[in-house]
Structure 1
Amino acid sequence: MTVKSEITTLWEQYQDGLTAAEATDEHLATLEAFLESLEAGEIRAAEKTGDDVTTWEANAWVKQGILLNFGLRETHPRVYGDVTYHDVLPLRDTADLADRGTRNTPDGTTIRRGAYLGSDCIMMSPAFVNIGAYIDDGTLVDSCDTVGSCAQLGTNVKLGANTLIGGVLEPVENAPVIIEDGVSLGAGCRVTSGFRVGENSIVGENTLLTPRIPVYDLVTEEIIYGHLPENRRAFTRYVESSVSDHEFFPGGAYKPAVVATDVEDETLEATQREEALRE
């Protein structure tokens, strides 16, 4: 049997009422093999599909396997440095990273089991990478960054300090946050709820990217929700809200939006600041 078929069978048993107290050594061995496959990059929570390279689809069975690791394991006390914590999973063994030129700095870099890290990555302290995350070659995860469960980061991605890449574990059929190849996110950015950032885009500091906030794409002159196209510079601006005429807002009410220009456009002050951040 394959890892996929074993997880699918185990998920059906879990849906029928199998509990952590009833999980056998064989069940746990299946979960271990699943985590090892995630950490080796042999399976992942989402992948590009079809002829359209911008289309990503979740691998629902992989998300089910992650949920099984929470549902069919007991919580145990574990030790991390001088700290005892309680979780269903230990942290990831990082002994394999050095062979691939990937480095994780001490004093707070936390990588949970089931996370994949490619070659020549840099993990700065303190940073946290959750189960199911996929971090491809040459990517920098800076200090105080969080990479959520199942998030997919491409090659040569740069996350500025204090950046949050949200996790999307449930529902299992929903694609997680996608950060494609060559993307640079400025310090303090937030990307949540399955938002996709297209290749080679540069996002200014403290920008919030979520499907509920519109992207005003000045290249195509359209309003987009849920993704930032490739080769864009993006930054936060505020646009007039529909409640601007309310008596509570005599000066007018505004809501956040994201403005996107061509990545080669260096005429705006915000993009000039972003260029300095990248140097």
Structure 2
Amino acid sequence: MSLESDIDDLWHRYDGGTLTADSAGREELDALDAFLTALETGEVRAAEPDGDGDWQSNEWVKRGILLNFGLREIAGREYGDVTYHDVLPLRETDDLPGRGTRNTPDGTVLRRGSYVGGDAIMMSPSFVNVGAYVGDGTLVDSCDTVGSCAQIGADVKLGANTLIGGVLEPVEDAPVVVEDGASLGAGCRVTSGFVVGENSVVAENTLLTPRIPVYDLVEEEVLYGHLPPERRAFTRFVESSVGDHDLFDGGAYKPAVVAMDVEETTMEAVEREEALRE
């Protein structure tokens, strides 16, 4: 049987009420351990590109993660001098140095079932949750959180205090995706399955969520749920539909994201720097 069929079998038994944490034996737990190891090696992922520019959730992988919460007992575990209580241990990190990846001490937490690629940097304190995927050469900076099943590409820079939200349920929902080469400034938040296109640059403290419109000045359209590739994005406030309400003296505004061509804005910054030096 394949790993996917093993998880499907466990899910049907668990969902049907014939398999519980009390009845799960060594065979079932071994299957769950093999599944977590496959996540850590990148053999399986919670979501993958479909070849047409979209991302598809692997529902069976999310079910496997949920099974690890449903079929395991909470146990006391050690992390340094601290005892914590969880159904999952932390991820072993002995494999990281051989791939050129480093994690700094005092608070770098990789949960079991998370993947971290080669030549990556994990600064402390940071947290990568179960099912998350962090690509090669990516920087996860101090105070960053990479939520469950989030997909972070290669050569990505997550600025300090960045929140990448997790999406575990419902299992068919696609998780947050930050594609290759993207750079997020400090304090950014990306939630609810939002997709940041490759090589985009997002300004500090920008909130990216499907509920906030993206005004793409390159294609002159309003988008929801994704930032196209090669964009420079930042927050602006636009007039709200309740702007003329008596309670709002001087008008009411709502946040929006403005997206411009990343090459043009980068050149403008270079030109301004050269002018200052002259």
Q: TM-score, normalised by structure 2?
A: 0.95
Within a 5 Å distance, the mapping from 1:229-248 to structure 2 comes to 229-248=228-247
Instruction: Report the counterpart of residue 96 of structure 1 in structure 2.
Output: 95
Secondary structure at 1:21 match in 2 = coil
Instruction: Report the counterpart of residue 43 of structure 1 in structure 2.
Output: 44
Unaligned runs of 5+ in 2: 274-278
Q: CA deviation at 1:124?
A: 0.1
Q: CA deviation at 1:265?
A: 2.3
Instruction: Report the counterpart of residue 276 of structure 2 in structure 1.
Output: none
Amino acid at match of 1:206: N
Instruction: Report the counterpart of residue 199 of structure 2 in structure 1.
Output: 200
Q: CA deviation at 1:41?
A: 0.4
Question: CA-to-partner distance for each residue in 1:99-125, whole Å, 9 max, x for gaps?
Answer: 000000000000000000110000000
Instruction: Report the counterpart of residue 121 of structure 1 in structure 2.
Output: 120
Instruction: Report the counterpart of residue 176 of structure 1 in structure 2.
Output: 175
Secondary structure at 1:176 match in 2 = coil
Q: CA deviation at 1:202?
A: 0.1
Instruction: Report the counterpart of residue 5 of structure 1 in structure 2.
Output: 5
Q: CA deviation at 1:178?
A: 0.4
Matched, 1:15 2:32: no
Instruction: Report the counterpart of residue 56 of structure 1 in structure 2.
Output: 55
Within a 5 Å distance, the mapping from 1:230-269 to structure 2 comes to 230-266=229-265
Contact 2:201 2:233 (8 Å CA) reproduced: yes
Alignment root-mean-square deviation, CA: 1.4
Question: CA-to-partner distance for each residue in 1:192-244, whole Å, 9 max, x for gaps?
Answer: 00000001000000000000000000001100000000000000000000000
Amino acid at match of 2:150: A
Amino acid at match of 2:35: F
**Count of aligned positions:** 270
Contact 2:108 2:126 (8 Å CA) reproduced: yes
In the alignment, the residues of structure 1 paired with residue 10 and residue 20 of structure 2 have an alpha-carbon distance, to the nearest angstrom, of 11
Amino acid at match of 2:4: K
Instruction: Report the counterpart of residue 162 of structure 2 in structure 1.
Output: 163
Unaligned runs of 5+ in 1: none
Q: CA deviation at 1:268?
A: 10
Secondary structure at 1:266 match in 2 = helix
Secondary structure at 2:94 match in 1 = coil
In the alignment, the residues of structure 1 paired with residue 22 and residue 256 of structure 2 have an alpha-carbon distance, to the nearest angstrom, of 48
Identity %: 73
In the alignment, the residues of structure 2 paired with residue 221 and residue 113 of structure 1 have an alpha-carbon distance, to the nearest angstrom, of 43
Q: CA deviation at 1:267?
A: 7.9
Q: TM-score, normalised by structure 1?
A: 0.95
Q: CA deviation at 1:127?
A: 0.1
In the alignment, the residues of structure 2 paired with residue 234 and residue 49 of structure 1 have an alpha-carbon distance, to the nearest angstrom, of 25
Contact 2:41 2:115 (8 Å CA) reproduced: yes
Matched, 1:33 2:34: yes
Contact 2:232 2:265 (8 Å CA) reproduced: no
In the alignment, the residues of structure 1 paired with residue 247 and residue 219 of structure 2 have an alpha-carbon distance, to the nearest angstrom, of 35
In the alignment, the residues of structure 2 paired with residue 16 and residue 119 of structure 1 have an alpha-carbon distance, to the nearest angstrom, of 40
Instruction: Report the counterpart of residue 78 of structure 1 in structure 2.
Output: 77
Matched, 1:137 2:136: yes
Moved over 4 A (4+): none
Amino acid at match of 1:14: Y
In the alignment, the residues of structure 1 paired with residue 86 and residue 266 of structure 2 have an alpha-carbon distance, to the nearest angstrom, of 50
Secondary structure at 1:10 match in 2 = helix
Matched, 1:24 2:25: yes
In the alignment, the residues of structure 2 paired with residue 267 and residue 176 of structure 1 have an alpha-carbon distance, to the nearest angstrom, of 29
In the alignment, the residues of structure 1 paired with residue 34 and residue 132 of structure 2 have an alpha-carbon distance, to the nearest angstrom, of 17
Question: CA-to-partner distance for each residue in 1:42-99, whole Å, 9 max, x for gaps?
Answer: 000000114x1x2100000000000000000000000100100000000000000010
